[in-house]
Copies of this chain bind each other. A is one copy, B any other.
Amino acid sequence: MDDLKKLQLVFQTLADYNRLGIIRFICEKERSVGEIIKTTKLSQPLVSHHLRVLKENGILETRRKGPFIFYYIKDKKILDAINLFSELFKNSDIKDKTRSKFCSGWISSNYNNKT
């Protein structure tokens, strides 16, 4: 697979409203599937499907914690890249940096709750 095809797959992965919503919810700390379902109000199989796509395309990673499976952003640089697009293409008239940032960032203190 050439690099252009890989790039296309990444954009395709991000080109879904629900998946972006999931990423935005996950972006500051890892979340269990149940939390994602509750917050996004999407059906369980649909969330599961989107999470799989996001994982298969290198956006998310998982870790099991008892019966729960937590999803988290694989590489935090991805958030910077998404933020860049978010700031470039926000359609609101008020272009203040704080408001329309896609994700303010990962909370590193939430990253070490190993079981």
Question: Can you list the 5 inter-chain pairs with the closest CB atoms, starting with the nearest?
Answer: A12-B15, A11-B15, A11-B14, A15-B15, A81-B84
Q: List 19 A-B contacts (CB under 8 A).
A: A1-B91, A3-B91, A3-B92, A3-B100, A3-B102, A4-B20, A4-B21, A4-B24, A5-B17, A6-B89, A6-B91, A7-B86, A8-B15, A11-B11, A11-B14, A11-B20, A15-B15, A78-B88, A84-B84
A85 to B4, CA, bound (A): 11
Residues on A lying within 8 angstroms of B by beta carbon are: 1, 3-8, 10-12, 14-17, 20-21, 24, 58, 75, 77-78, 80-82, 84-86, 88-92, 100, 102
